[in-house]
Amino acid sequence: MGSFLILLVFLGGLVLLAGWAIGLYNTLVKRRNAWRNAFAQIDVQLQRRFDLIPNLVETAKGYMAHERQTLEAVVAARAAAQSGLAAAKAHPGDPAAMAQLAAAQGQLESTLGRLLAVAEAYPDLKANQNMMQLHEELTSTENRVAFVRQAYNDAVMAYNNQRETFPSVLLANAFGFGPAALLEIPAARPEVREAPKVQF
């Protein structure tokens, strides 16, 4: 009778331990799926941006005949950004792939900023209805990109925190739950990150 009770307690302990391990494993899977889904939303918004750029360049081309180098830089940056996105889609969360994506997106944002700054010097282009609509759509898309990038980074942070804390780290390492990388796109202009200077 005593050995049967010990066996029941032992089996009960194993069941509790197994339930606890399954719960931790499932939490890791849910968090990994959350950041992967968040990355898919980044993909959607970046594709939207990529689709707007050829129209923006075509509209500007007629007015900016002397700015061919700027237009070509935008087209080249778009191609590099698409390549960076493809690499990141193949290995979402991979630090090298995310760094490549961030660098390419930063370069694209910089060249788009230059294009829009140069467009300001052309009053007819600035007043063009198509250009105004494209600029508005691009601004809206940039806001969406920022929003989904923040959602992705939040999901990655939650996943990494879960996988790095004890006792989850034991299961994470045993079952191959590797770290996921944040998507940190550098500011196109360094002064964007600095606080404005006010003098009286």
What digits encode the pLDDT tens for the residues 10-27?
Answer: 888 899 988 988 999 999
Would you say 88 and 39 are in contact if contact means Cβ atoms under 8 Å apart?
A: yes
What digits encode the pLDDT tens for the residues 31-90?
Answer: 999 999 999 999 999 999 999 999 888 888 877 777 888 888 999 999 999 999 999 999
Query: What is the SS3 string spanning 27-60?
Result: HHHHHHHHHHHHHHHHHHHHHHHHHHHHHHHHHH
Domain count for the chain, please give it. Answer: 1
pLDDT surpassing 80 at residue 171 = yes
Would you say 84 and 101 are in contact if contact means Cβ atoms under 8 Å apart?
A: yes
Residue 17, domain member (yes or no): no
Does residue 64 or residue 142 have the better pLDDT? 142
Determine the 3-state secondary structure of 188 from DSSP. Answer: coil
Residue 129, domain member (yes or no): yes
Q: Can you say how many angstroms the Cα of residue 157 is from the centroid of all Cα atoms in its chain? A: 13
Residue 190, domain member (yes or no): no
pLDDT of residue 83: 93
pLDDT surpassing 90 at residue 153 = yes
Mean predicted confidence (pLDDT) in 103-124:
88
> What is the extent of the structural domain holding 73?
35-185
Residue 163 is part of a domain; what is its CATH number?
Answer: 1.20.1440.20
